[in-house]
């Protein structure tokens, strides 16, 4: 248990260092936090479009209008793959903790749906037959959508972690996630819920007129 805990701490510290260049400055912190989102959901693993039995629990934080994402995942079950020449299943990976930091780019927007691509780095607590390295490249391709009412935002993403063939075996970790964010305003205001102020609206003049009306009502 001590070794696993140390590995998790190392991954967490490394990702914090990687996030440092993107940390908000004091002058921009308020505007940046308005676009922060915390998403939770559920996912599953696959390999060459065949299910491998891994259940994924993701928690993601996005900021800067979803340009950056920090995601933590827990693969809760073993991943197995049926051998083509055997009836037995091959153990590909045991349960593990992982995290990724990615930069994301919007590909298109059609009404309430947006397409995006992301690329970054990932780390996990165990190496396995999917990847002999614990540090990998992370890529994602997904759809972001708003449900009617603009109170719930969801993301469906296909993700791939691998070392790019630096060391073999390198089958890569493939998994899909579905995450949701509730626009409660607790972590900032979603852009869908922001309404611009009419530039012709003079707040000072309106307040003065209201105060004058109140004074006239109080006079005998």
The pLDDT tens digits of the residues spanning 167-218 come to 888 889 999 999 999 876 555 444 554 445 455 545 555 555 555 554 444 4
Would strands 79-82 and 113-124 be described as parallel, antiparallel, or unpaired?
A: unpaired
Residue-level pLDDT at 100: 98
Residue-level pLDDT at 27: 47
Strand ranges for the chain from DSSP E: 37-47, 50-63, 68-75, 79-82, 89-93, 96-110, 113-124, 135-146, 152-162, 173-182
Residues 6+ apart with CB under 8 A from 156: 142, 143, 145, 176, 177, 178
pLDDT digits (tens, 9 = 90+) for 146-175: 998 878 999 999 999 999 888 888 889 999
Residue 9 confidence (pLDDT) above 80: no
* Domains in the chain: ranges and CATH: 2-20+36-212 (2.40.160.20)
* Phi–psi pair at 56, nearest 5 degrees: -115, 130
3 state SS of 2: helix
Q: Quote the tokens at residue 194.
A: 């922001």
pLDDT digits (tens, 9 = 90+) for 29-81: 455 567 789 999 999 999 887 889 999 999 999 999 999 999 999 999 999 98
């Amino acid at each position: 248990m001590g070794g696993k805990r140390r590995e998790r701490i190392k991954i967490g510290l490394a990702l914090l260092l990687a996030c440092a260049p993107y940390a908000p400055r004091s002058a921009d912190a308020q505007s940046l936090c308005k676009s922060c989102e915390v998403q939770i959901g559920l996912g599953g693993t696959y390999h060459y479009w065949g299910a491998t039995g891994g259940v994924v629990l993701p928690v993601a934080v996005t900021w800067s209008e979803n340009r950056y994402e920090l995601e933590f995942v827990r693969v809760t079950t073993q991943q197995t793959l049926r051998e083509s020449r055997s009836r037995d299943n091959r153990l590909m990976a045991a349960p593990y903790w992982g995290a990724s930091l990615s930069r994301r780019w919007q590909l298109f927007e059609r009404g309430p749906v947006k397409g995006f691509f992301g690329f970054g780095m990932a780390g996990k607590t165990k190496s396995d037959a999917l990847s002999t390295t614990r540090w990998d490249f992370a890529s994602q391709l997904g759809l972001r959508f708003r449900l009617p009412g603009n109170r719930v935002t969801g993301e469906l993403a296909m993700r791939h972690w691998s070392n790019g063939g630096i060391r073999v075996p390198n089958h890569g970790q493939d998994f899909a996630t579905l995450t949701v964010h509730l626009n409660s305003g607790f972590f900032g205001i979603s852009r869908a819920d922001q309404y611009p102020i009419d530039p012709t609206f003079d707040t000072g003049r309106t307040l003065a007129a209201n105060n004058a009306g109140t004074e006239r009502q109080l006079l005998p």
